Each structure stands twice: as C-alpha cells, then as structure tokens.
A and B are shown apart, each in its own frame.
Chain A
C-alpha cells in the first residue's frame, strides 16, 4: 500500500432493504408495511391520491390549504392542543400536498408511536376547519405569495409550468394565486377533504421498529373504521397536455437582481419503462461535474450554479435545466443551456462517462434510505404511482443497468427536441439580443403576469388595476 497515490475505489456494495408487505383493508385502504428494527423508531405516511391536479383552475391552492389546515385543530382539540399532543409524544406530525397527492406523516419512538398514530388518525379524519383557522392560514398563504413573487427563480418555475402545461393539470400554481385564495373558504376546504380524503383512494405506509403483523394490526385498529363519505370521487377528465413546442417566454421584471433561466419540456411519467434512463440522463447534466454546471459556471463563470431536474409524475412531468445569471449575459446563457441539453444527442455520454453520473444517483438514493422516514417516503412514492414495490430494492441495479445508448435514445425523444425557454429578469438587457436568434419570443411585463391564467397574461387593463 503506497501512501503517495490516491487509492482506487473498491467494488460497490449493494443495500439490503427491508421487504415491504402489502394488504388491503376492508375499506379499500392499501397498507404497505415494513419492519426495520435497528432503532426504536416507527414512521407512517398516509398518501391520499389526489392533490393540486384535482383542483379546478379557479380554485388553485385548495389542496394546499386543506393540508395546512389538517394541522390546525380537530373536532376534539384546538390547533395548539394538536401541537401539544405531538410534543408530549415526542412525535413529528406533518401534512403537505403536491400535484398528485396529499399526505400526512408521523414518526415517533416505539413506545409513543401507537398514540402518535392515533393522533394522525384524528387529524386525518376529524379536522375542525374552524373558520378562524381557515382565515389565518389563508392570510398567511397570501402573504407567502408576496415572497414567492419577489423571487425570480420561483416565478420562472411557475411560468415554466404554465408554458409547458397551459390549462392542463400541473399548469397552475400548487400554492394558488392571491385571487384564487381570496375566493376559497371553509365550505370548499371541507368539500375537498370529504370528497378526496378517502380510504379507497389512499395508501398507508407504516414501518420501522415493529413486526409487519403489528403494523397491520395498528393500521386496522386506527384506520379500519375509516369510511368514504360517498361514491368514489369522480374527477373531470384532464385537459390534454399540449405538445412540447420551442418557444421563448420572457417575463420583464426590471427589479430582479438577476435573471432566472429555465429551459425544458414535458418529459416522462413515473411509471414509464424509461424512468431509470431518464434519471441517469438528467444526472449527466446535473451536479457540480454535470454538464450544465461545467459549461455555465466552471468554463464560463456565468453563474454560481446551474442544474437540471426531472420530476416524473402520474402524467408526464417536467425535465428542466435552470440557472441564475446576470441580465446582460442572459442571451449567452440561453444558447449555452440549449446547447448543453442538445449535447446529450450531439456529444452523447459514453458508458465510461456514466460511471460517475450513475454513482451520484445511487449515492443520493442510499442516503435517502438511511432513515425510516426515507424508506417510508420512497415506498409511498412507489405505491402512489403504482410502481411495483419490489423495484425499490432493485433501484441501484436498475440505475447501473442503464447504458449510454439508452441515455442518448431517451434524450433524443423526450429531452432535446422542442424545449421551451423561460427567462425572468430585466428584459431591456437581453430580450432584443435573444429575439435576433430565436423565433417566437414573447415578452410579458411582470405587472401583466397572471399565473392564474393558462395564457399567463391578464385579460385587460382593468384587471391590471385590480
């Protein structure tokens, strides 16, 4: 063994994950249980398979409001008493919603868990939705939007959703808009909860320091009596996702410190057989040594950082590459970003290149499953998207099996062609330059921007004043 040279890595080792076991309760609730007894901790997550994608356009923000209000009091205890009960149990209790689902999660030490799980049941099934709390959460959500709108990176993401999806689900903001939040009240909150929070359209994942039999018994004891309020929820057929189209949308925000840039397109659903190739393809672009950061930051110093994300969902989700740049270099960054995405086909990664990129994917996965909350979340995601649970144990092998041809092939189909570009910044410094080399450039003054509209712009000058 020589001390002077960096040693080579050893052979990678695989993880042994606890085997999940499934059962469906009489009320239709799908229960996934696992046992992992290295520490006295148990976690559970109830995933209701409806979230913001089930909202009407004019009620954007409703599912988020419902999730936030679950934590603000039940029919038997007020908001502070819910917090006090969780504290007394040393439990963590949280609620959240996204496009595809709404979820409640809890974790606690083994002796406290049965009580913490009963608290989750109470919060899930008996929310008070007290008018005072509805008003308080709504007011806070509206003031949070002011912070969002001041941030060019967050605005660019919301604009990108609209550009990609228009009026289809995934187009509107999950957090709503000031107008939609102002129109929402207790009745609609209760309606959403009654209609969509139901056992026959939900999954419970529960695991940690207990046997799977005990997990099922606990699930039955607390949630076995959960009944849906009526017939299965009917959701209006989704508006079709518009086909990807090359376009440049600029939001002129002269007060932005820097310009936020996002390029991408609608790409892939979570259940797609291409999921692993897509994940590796995104990793070729993402990370410090990923191509986007190398070109934008390391070679050109255009930005402190740049990256790529892939959000695979029930329906095809977005692939995006993004960065923050000086206004005067936004045109250059646009061309560099698009060229980097195209390089997935023009200068495809070799199998050798993929070794380190795949390692970033599997490394992040192994860190995620170090905790029972992480395992619970990963199983919940598999269950939500009807991916076989056995795939979780095979995750690293599936990633390793992706080869250069698969990455190039996927990129050529669903990442490279027809990318949109969204820029949010001081358009006077870059819009003309971009218009010289790109067709179909649209500039929206930020005062005219309406994220509540599929077309993104306020309809009339009268609306602007409102």
Chain B
C-alpha cells in the first residue's frame, strides 16, 4: 500500500480550554418566582425548564416516593386544560417534553419551535396555579409509578443497588429514602396528599423558570409577568429539611442477595460534602481520575490489567445536602468479590498515597472541561445547568466559574480529598450477590 511512513501522534501539550460565560438575565418576581432568561437566536427553537425545589428528600413522612409520583400527576390536566395538554402542545408542533425527580429537585422541561414559547409559558403557569387530579387518574398514575418500580428496581439486574446505598449510608437524613419510594407507601398515598403537596411546594417562591433559546427578552418578560406574575405567593413558610447526618465513625456493610444478579457486584459509598462545598471540584476531578473512560485508573487496573472486574466506575454524587462518593465494581465471571475489592482498595491506597502526575491531571481536566463545553451546545443543556446550579448550589452564576474551578484543582487537592473522604470508617459497603 502506498502510505507515508508511520509517525507517532504529536505529544499533546497542556490544553487550555476556555469558554465565554453564559450571558443571562436573572430576576425574581414579586411573588418569589426566579426567572432566568438566556436569549440565543441561532436556531428557531427554545427550551423551557421549570424546576421546583422539592425532591425525594422532601417526601412527606410515610409517603416515600411521593415527589416522584406527583411529577407524573402534573401531566394530568388542570382546571382549564385536559390531561396530556403539555404533550399535545409540544409533540404535535415538533417539540418534546419530559420531567425528572431527583433527591433535591423536580424539573419539568420542554423544547419547542420558538414561535410556541408563549403557549408553553401559559401552560407551565397554568399547572403551577391549578392542578386537577381526580381519584381515577390518580389511581392509574400510581399504578404506572409502581409499574416503573417493578420494572426499574425489581426486574433490572442491580436495580435495587441505588436504593440500598441511600438507605444504608444515611442513618438520619431523608436521603435514606431515595426517590422512587416503596410500593407500600405509594399505595398509602391519598388524593388529599396530592392536594396538600401541590399547595405546599408548587408555589412561585419555590420555583425557578429558565428559558434558553430563540426569543426576545423583553417580550418574554412580559409573557412571564402576565402568566406567572398573577399567581399568589402563599403566606405559610415552605417546609425544609434540616436533618444533619451525623459523622460516620465505623464502616458499615450490608449484604443483599437477589435472583437476577448475573455477577456479584459491590458499591462502596463514602460521605462527601454538599455541591456548594469548596471541595466539590476536586471530588469531580477525583471521580474522573478513578473512573472516567477507558484510560481511567479503575478501568485500566481492575478491568483491563487484572481482569477481576467487567465494570468499575466512580461517581461523585454531589447534592444540595452532603452527598456520596460511590465506587461500583461488577466482578468478572468466577472472580470472588473479595478479590475485586482488594484490587479496588489497592487503587484507593494509591490515590491516597500520592497525587496524580501532571499528565494524568491534565487528562482529567481536559475530559471535564470538554464535557462542560459540550453541555452548552443545546438550549436544553444550558437551561438545565442553570436551574440545577440554582437549586443545588444556590447560585446560577456558578456555571460560569466551573471551568476555572476545575482547572485550578491540583494533584495535591485530589490526594487531599481522597484522604479526607475515601476512608474506610466513612464508608458503607453494599455487597450485591446472586441468591
């Protein structure tokens, strides 16, 4: 074959990735609704996010899974609209909509052609102001959510792992109940609970509206004032979770056995501070060094070299309140859990003993910075990062400092947070085994 001589790829120098700040308008209406607008007229499409500061941790006592069940009910119609109106206003005009519930947030979002923005603002304001749930569609939707539990938690291999991690790692904080809840408590929920929950948390001073995309800021502000501005702010205070998880002083281990477990797996969950804590960026870099991509330490060591695992991952789950750093390993066939755990522990010892070298740190920074840049490509990505930063970290503006904060993380920072948090007495171990 006629080819030029082989030359190695040039050595990659430290890559300086910069990105312009997201320019947004941020104001709070008299009724407390926070409104963030990011005009960008490149593509005639617009993303709308309405985030409520309520999630799994805020479920009423004895009603675990309620925030998530409630999210489903928000599609069931209002005093003025039929069920699934939001679906028709989005899908039928070339857009889409969805929603998710996490521990801290319930977020509703739509992407539509920009000439439909006013209609979606009307519809979102409408379902914030009034909800029309009856006994019939409440019962149907509750069955849908329990079906989701059966499918995602019970039927999926390892489906119970996230639930177990939350339940065992937290002793006091309501994060221990997870988000999906339990069928028993979902079945105990009543229509009265629905009405009370809407009145308690679905109020303008508990919501953030972010709009990103093709619109005129002044015109949109007028629509927001007209549709959301008239919704009253209730007088009673919004209940907040004040529970503080006590410091863990000894390792906890929990063994779980289930029929549909193809290979033994383990998760080690370590308590870490909240997303707003100064250690958060170093924890994200630690996650990347240990677990991001095929060149990460866990993949290279456990999966490729030692072949004791088919899968090994790390995740800094940073939340509004102190979260968890999870290390998850699925054993290779015929490898004992203890062997895989020993290989994991060796990697933890290494990351606690010495800082990653410059090349490894540069790789991690580049991976994180690249994903920060990519996440800004779509209007929905921009709107989501702004509402999440507002709810979980208390400030939308932090999204513009993230890159600098990641790039400032040093090797010593990574070692320091590994030593500070990845300690055996600070962890909960879930062993997930075939029955």
Give 1 or 0 for each of A218-261: 1 = CB within 8 Å of chain B CB: 00000001010100000000000000000000000000000000
Which chain B residues numbered 296 to 346 have a C-beta less than 8 Å away from chain A? 296, 300, 304
Check B227 for interface membership: any CB of A closer than 8 A: yes
Check B29 for interface membership: any CB of A closer than 8 A: no
Q: Which residues of B contact A229 (CB under 8 A)?
A: 1-2
Among the 9-residue stretches A37-45, A264-272, A326-334, A442-450, the one with 4 or more Cβ atoms under 8 Å from chain B is A37-45
Nearest-CB residue, chain B, relative to A373: B377
Cross-chain contact B370 with A225 (CB below 8 angstroms) = no
Check A211 for interface membership: any CB of B closer than 8 A: no
Among the 9-residue stretches A61-69, A111-119, A153-161, A179-187, the one with 4 or more Cβ atoms under 8 Å from chain B is A111-119
Give 1 or 0 for each of A115-150: 1 = CB within 8 Å of chain B CB: 100110010011000000000000000000000000
Contact of A90 among B15, B40, B118, B376 (CB under 8 A): B15
* CA–CA, A83 and B369, complex, Å: 18
Q: Which residues of A contact B424 (CB under 8 A)?
A: none
Cross-chain contact B17 with A112 (CB below 8 angstroms) = yes
Check A9 for interface membership: any CB of B closer than 8 A: yes
* CA–CA, A4 and B111, complex, Å: 23
Give 1 or 0 for each of B367-382: 1 = CB within 8 Å of chain A CB: 1111101101111000
Cross-chain contact B6 with A88 (CB below 8 angstroms) = no
Cross-chain contact B115 with A6 (CB below 8 angstroms) = no
The 10 closest A-B pairs by CB, nearest first: A363-B94, A90-B370, A84-B295, A83-B294, A10-B115, A13-B44, A87-B293, A90-B366, A359-B94, A87-B295
Give 1 or 0 for each of A353-370: 1 = CB within 8 Å of chain B CB: 000100111111011011
Cross-chain contact A370 with B294 (CB below 8 angstroms) = no
Q: Which residues of B contact A347 (CB under 8 A)?
A: none
Q: Which residues of A contact B238 (CB under 8 A)?
A: none
The number of inter-chain residue pairs (CB within 8 angstroms) is 176
Cross-chain contact A288 with B295 (CB below 8 angstroms) = no
* CA–CA, A80 and B305, complex, Å: 11
Check B93 for interface membership: any CB of A closer than 8 A: yes
Cross-chain contact B366 with A363 (CB below 8 angstroms) = no
Check B247 for interface membership: any CB of A closer than 8 A: no
* CA–CA, A366 and B111, complex, Å: 10
Cross-chain contact A11 with B12 (CB below 8 angstroms) = no
A residues adjacent to B (C-beta < 8 A)? 1, 3-4, 6-16, 38-41, 75-77, 80, 83-91, 108-112, 115, 118-119, 122, 125-126, 194, 225, 227, 229, 287-289, 356, 359-364, 366-367, 369-372
B residues adjacent to A (C-beta < 8 A)? 1-4, 6-10, 12, 15-19, 40, 42-45, 80-81, 87-89, 91-95, 111-119, 122-123, 125, 214, 222-223, 226-227, 230, 292-296, 300, 304, 359, 362-363, 366-371, 373-374, 376-379
* CA–CA, A367 and B367, complex, Å: 25
Q: Which residues of A contact B9 (CB under 8 A)?
A: 76-77, 85, 115, 118-119, 122
Contact of A288 among B2, B19, B91 (CB under 8 A): B91
Q: How far is the CB of A194 from the nearest CB of chain B, in Å?
A: 6
* CA–CA, A356 and B93, complex, Å: 6
Cross-chain contact B94 with A361 (CB below 8 angstroms) = yes
Cross-chain contact A289 with B113 (CB below 8 angstroms) = no
Cross-chain contact A4 with B80 (CB below 8 angstroms) = yes
Given contacts A89-B366, A90-B15, contact A360 B294 (CB under 8 A): no
Given contacts A12-B113, A125-B3, A126-B3, contact A109 B370 (CB under 8 A): yes
Contact of B93 among A7, A16, A359 (CB under 8 A): A359
Cross-chain contact A87 with B294 (CB below 8 angstroms) = yes
Nearest-CB residue, chain A, relative to B18: A40
Q: How far is the CB of A445 from the nearest CB of chain B, in Å?
A: 30
* CA–CA, A15 and B226, complex, Å: 28
Contact of B92 among A10, A356, A366 (CB under 8 A): A356
* CA–CA, A80 and B92, complex, Å: 45
* CA–CA, A405 and B382, complex, Å: 41
Q: How far is the CB of B280 from the nearest CB of chain A, in Å?
A: 20
Contact of B118 among A10, A86, A369 (CB under 8 A): A10
Q: Which residues of B contact A367 (CB under 8 A)?
A: 45, 111, 378
Contact of A227 among B2, B6, B19, B367 (CB under 8 A): B2
Instruction: Summarize A's interface: helix, strand, loop or mixed.
Output: loop
Q: How far is the CB of A147 from the nearest CB of chain B, in Å?
A: 14
Q: How far is the CB of B19 from the nearest CB of chain A, in Å?
A: 6
Cross-chain contact A370 with B92 (CB below 8 angstroms) = no
Q: How far is the CB of B261 from the nearest CB of chain A, in Å?
A: 19
Nearest-CB residue, chain A, relative to B117: A10
Q: How far is the CB of A27 from the nearest CB of chain B, in Å?
A: 11
Q: How far is the CB of B314 from the nearest CB of chain A, in Å?
A: 14
Cross-chain contact A12 with B366 (CB below 8 angstroms) = no
Given contacts A108-B370, A372-B377, contact A39 B214 (CB under 8 A): no
Given contacts A15-B43, A194-B1, contact A7 B122 (CB under 8 A): yes
Q: Which residues of A contact B359 (CB under 8 A)?
A: 88
Q: How far is the CB of A158 from the nearest CB of chain B, in Å?
A: 26
Q: Which residues of B contact A76 (CB under 8 A)?
A: 6-9
Q: How far is the CB of A199 from the nearest CB of chain B, in Å?
A: 12
Given contacts A83-B295, A118-B9, A370-B378, contact A7 B42 (CB under 8 A): no
Contact of B15 among A1, A109, A227 (CB under 8 A): A109
* CA–CA, A121 and B364, complex, Å: 24
Q: Which residues of B contact A90 (CB under 8 A)?
A: 15, 17, 366-371
Nearest-CB residue, chain A, relative to B288: A87
* CA–CA, A229 and B3, complex, Å: 9
* CA–CA, A14 and B42, complex, Å: 10
Most buried by B among A39, A229, A366: A366
Cross-chain contact B10 with A118 (CB below 8 angstroms) = yes
Cross-chain contact B377 with A41 (CB below 8 angstroms) = yes
Cross-chain contact A16 with B119 (CB below 8 angstroms) = no
Contact of B226 among A3, A115, A126, A289 (CB under 8 A): A3
Q: Which residues of B contact A9 (CB under 8 A)?
A: 93, 115-116, 118-119
* CA–CA, A360 and B116, complex, Å: 13
Q: How far is the CB of A262 from the nearest CB of chain B, in Å?
A: 23
Q: How far is the CB of B400 from the nearest CB of chain A, in Å?
A: 14
* CA–CA, A75 and B363, complex, Å: 23
Cross-chain contact A360 with B43 (CB below 8 angstroms) = no
Most buried by A among B9, B300, B368: B9
Instruction: List 26 contacting pairs A-B, 8 Å CB cutoff, sorted by A.
Output: A6-B122, A6-B123, A9-B93, A9-B115, A9-B116, A9-B118, A10-B117, A10-B118, A39-B19, A40-B373, A76-B6, A76-B7, A80-B300, A80-B304, A84-B294, A86-B293, A87-B292, A87-B363, A88-B359, A89-B15, A91-B370, A111-B15, A111-B17, A112-B12, A118-B10, A225-B4
